[in-house]
Amino acid sequence: MFLKEFRKPRKFNIYWTSGPGNIYQIDLFSLSRIFKYMGFEKKVVKAAKGPWVLNCIDMYSRYLELEYIGESATMENVIEALERIFKKMGKPLTIQADDEFNTVKFRNFCEKNKINAYFYKPHENPKNQIVERANRTIKFLILRYINQYGWPMSGNLQEDAQQVLDSCSWFYNRRWHTRIKAIPFEVFHGMDLNHQKKHEKIYYDILKPGTIVQRKPTIDAPRIGIFDLDPEPFVINKVEGNLQGKYQIKSLVTDKLEKKWYKPYELKPVHPSHFETWFFNPLLIEYLREKYGDKITENFLTSIQK
């Protein structure tokens, strides 16, 4: 409790994507404790840790959808639930998930739908913090729903569970979200026209001269890493204006200034703890060798190691 109360916020982890529908985070969570609290887990639940729910949340707007999977969280059931969610939310450009989703079937599903998929192991620093935090909130809302309205008694467990999940997601999406300072439903569906300005205001104080950033990908740049941005590292050289200002950046590899001036939502500051895994990514090194040659790339890697 002491650490949670006094630790400093990680500001560099809050700028993820420039618009709704670009990046989704997905995760599974269990209703076993809730069913145990209700007292009928032995009658309807045979699995040790189930039943399972799939949570899919849009990283920009925090809008989410929930799908009840059941006792068996096989990859076929997960994909079917994800397809139902896509009918409501649309298909994203990128999906972030835990390493448990890193299977041949799921990768083939993402490749078929032209979705970039990134998987993270428990010990890795860039985790799915947003969906993990949403899981705890949803569980709390489910308990509040049960205490206030009771569990539906239609006799069909899947329909009853989905009714509760839909009610909780409806409330979550239409309440004020303190992190984005807006209502997720309005942001996701483009009803909050002022959210982009709020978004820029939040991150203006972070983007200062000397900050290492990534930019939106160019046509010739592959998409490497967790933020779906240009893999080449840049540093902010100069700032003009205030809230709606322009940012001049230069390459960390060649020290060459970019002719284009960028808006705040076109850049993503990188946390220092991500430098090692980013700079020494084999795909990034291969990309830099093809673009700048072996000598410049080796000089850059040597300077980073120092």
In this model, does residue 227 exceed pLDDT 50?
no
Where does CATH 2.30.30 sit in the chain? 202-305
Which residues of the chain are in CATH 3.30.420.10 domains?
21-188
Band (33; pLDDT cuts 50, 70, 90): confident
> In what helix (H) or strand (E) does residue 32 lie, and over which residues does it extend?
helix 32-38
Indicate the SS3 state at residue 190.
coil
Mean pLDDT of 152-170: 88
- Of the ranges 23-37, 136-150, 200-214, which one carries the lowest mean pLDDT score? 200-214
Overall residue count recorded for the chain in this entry? 306
- The predicted structure's pLDDT at residue 225: 44
pLDDT in tens, 37-56: 777 554 444 444 678 999 99
Class of domain 21-188 (CATH, top level): alpha beta
pLDDT in tens, 73-88: 899 999 999 999 999 9
Between residues 16 and 195, which one has the greater pLDDT? 195
For the residues 135-150, what does the mean pLDDT come to? 89
Q: How confident is the model at residue 226 (pLDDT cuts 50, 70, 90)?
A: very low
- What string of DSSP letters covers 239-301? EESSTT-EEEEEETTT-PBPSS-B-GGGEEE--GGGHHHHHT-HHHHHHHHHHH-HHHHHHHH
Residue 1 has what pLDDT?
32
What the block records as the tokens of 223 is 């998409």
Cα dihedral across residues 35, 41, 44, 50: positive or negative: positive
The pLDDT value recorded for residue 75 is 93
Distance between CA atoms of 195 and 58, rounded to whole angstroms?
Answer: 15
pLDDT score for 67: 95
Indicate whether 170 pLDDT > 90.
yes
The per-residue pLDDT for 155 is 78
Instruction: Say what the pLDDT of residue 201 is.
Output: 55
- Tell me the whole-structure pTM to 2 decimals: 0.64
- 39-53, 57-71, 205-219, 269-283: the lowest-pLDDT one: 39-53
User: Over 70: is that where the pLDDT of 205 sits?
Assistant: no
59 vs 222, residue with greater confidence: 59
Please report the pLDDT score of residue 241 as a whole number.
66
Q: Look at residue 232 in the predicted model and tell me its pLDDT.
A: 79
Identify the weakest region by mean pLDDT among 67-76, 99-108, 115-124, 191-200.
Answer: 191-200
In terms of pLDDT, which residue wins out, 36 or 45? 36
At residue 105, does pLDDT exceed 70?
Answer: yes
Confidence band of 4 (pLDDT split at 50, 70, 90) = very low
CA 71 to chain centroid, in Å, comes to 26
Residue 24, beta-bridge partner list: 58, 95
* pLDDT of 106 higher than 50: yes
> Which of the two residues, 261 and 193, has the higher pLDDT score?
261
What is the structure's pLDDT at 204? 56
Query: Angle between the 294-305 and 282-292 helix axes, to the nearest 10 degrees?
Result: 130
The CATH classification of domain 202-305, taken from the options 1.20.1740, 2.30.30, 3.40.50, 1.10.3470? 2.30.30
- pLDDT value for 238: 85
Q: Across all residues in the chain, what is the average pLDDT?
A: 78
Q: What is the mean pLDDT of residues 116-123?
A: 80
